[in-house]
């Protein structure tokens, strides 16, 4: 492909947005002025209240999490996304909820110039940084957006999760005789087949359907990159931020491996049905910009 990655992914997310609008729980958010999205509700123990803070939400998509952040007491909330169609849905949701949220169309790396100000909190939600080619540049962008004393909060898909594909085993693995919990021959399991570490070349995917909704995606091609956990941590430290926490979770808000995952209604997340302790499915990282 000779196209720019931003053009490819913008077209993909523009075509996903109307499909997602029918399945992102917007009606529930509008029915209850105190309701939070499942993602932000999961994040709440590590995120805390945001009273009086100026918050920017990078890669905000439809704004369901952005609205939820505003409901946690933030003084101001700004959502940033590269997809104008996603932002149109987000603005409509904010208007219907009667919550003032500023939405800005920009890719992540252009956000400091597009916004022209700094914030107390940079929030990045799940399923975001895989669309960016350089995790170091992402961390530098975060640092530029933060005021001294401001903090970063990110929960995203774990790079191990992004490295896996679903496969069917042939014969019994050799070590199953010693460890009978290892998946048996003929069963479905997960295999490390995709890059774990950041690569220069993108991975291109063609998916006719999206993870939320049944309609065909008009622009089905997207491109992405994985970033190893140490690469993410190192990028944050190299950008001058101080790491304050790093937590790995065995669950994720979508079903990446159909038939192998179970839904937990209490958390609104999916985890492996069989031996979920095998898989770090997502992670939360927090950091602060020194005063």
Judge contact between 203 and 224, C-beta under 8 A.
yes
For 119, the token pair is: 């914030």
Structural domains of the chain, with CATH: 5-161+195-255+282-288 (3.40.50.150)
Q: What is the mean pLDDT of the chain?
A: 94
pLDDT of residue 47: 96
Query: In 135-281, where do the E strands start and end?
Result: 146-157, 164-168, 188-192, 203-206, 221-224, 242-249, 261-264, 269-272
- Taken in order 39, 128, 235, 251, is the CA torsion positive or negative? positive
**Res. 2: pLDDT tops 50:** no
pTM: 0.94
Query: Could you tell me what percentage of the chain is helix, strand and coil, using 3-state DSSP and rounding each to the nearest 5?
Result: 35, 25, 40
**Residue with the two structure tokens 């003032």:** 100
Q: How far apart are CA 171 and CA 162, in angstroms?
A: 26
pLDDT, one tens digit per residue, over 241-276 is 999 999 999 999 999 999 999 999 988 999 999 999
pLDDT of residue 1: 40
Query: What average pLDDT does range 43-64 have in this prediction?
Result: 96
pLDDT of residue 3: 61
| pLDDT band, residue 17 (cuts 50/70/90) | confident
pLDDT, one tens digit per residue, over 157-202 is 999 999 999 999 999 999 999 999 999 999 999 999 999 999 999 9
């Amino acid at each position: 492909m000779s196209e720019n990655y931003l053009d490819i992914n913008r077209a993909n997310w523009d075509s996903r947005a109307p499909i997602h609008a029918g399945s992102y729980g917007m009606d529930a958010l509008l029915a209850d002025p105190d309701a939070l999205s499942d993602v932000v509700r999961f994040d709440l123990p590590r995120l805390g209240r945001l009273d009086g803070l100026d918050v920017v939400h990078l890669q905000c998509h439809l704004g369901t999490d952005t609205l939820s952040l505003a409901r946690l007491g933030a003084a101001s909330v700004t959502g940033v996304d590269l997809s104008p169609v996603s932002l149109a849905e987000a603005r409509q949701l904010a208007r219907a909820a009667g919550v003032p949220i500023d939405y800005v169309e920009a890719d992540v790396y252009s956000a400091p110039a597009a916004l022209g100000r700094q914030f107390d909190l940079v929030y990045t939600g799940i399923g975001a940084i895989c669309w960016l080619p350089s995790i170091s540049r992402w961390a530098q962008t975060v640092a530029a957006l933060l005021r001294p004393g401001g903090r970063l909060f990110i929960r995203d898909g774990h790079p191990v999760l992004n490295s896996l594909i679903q496969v069917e085993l042939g014969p019994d693995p050799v070590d199953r005789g010693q460890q009978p919990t290892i998946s048996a021959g003929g069963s479905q399991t997960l295999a490390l087949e995709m890059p774990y570490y950041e690569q220069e070349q993108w991975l291109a995917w063609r998916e006719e359907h999206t993870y939320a909704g049944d309609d065909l995606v008009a622009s089905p091609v997207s491109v992405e990159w994985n970033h190893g956990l140490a690469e993410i941590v190192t990028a944050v430290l190299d950008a001058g931020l101080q790491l304050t926490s790093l937590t790995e979770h065995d669950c994720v808000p979508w079903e990446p491996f159909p038939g192998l995952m179970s839904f937990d209604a209490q958390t609104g997340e999916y985890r492996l049905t069989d031996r979920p302790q095998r898989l770090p499915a997502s992670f939360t990282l927090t950091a602060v910009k020194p005063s």
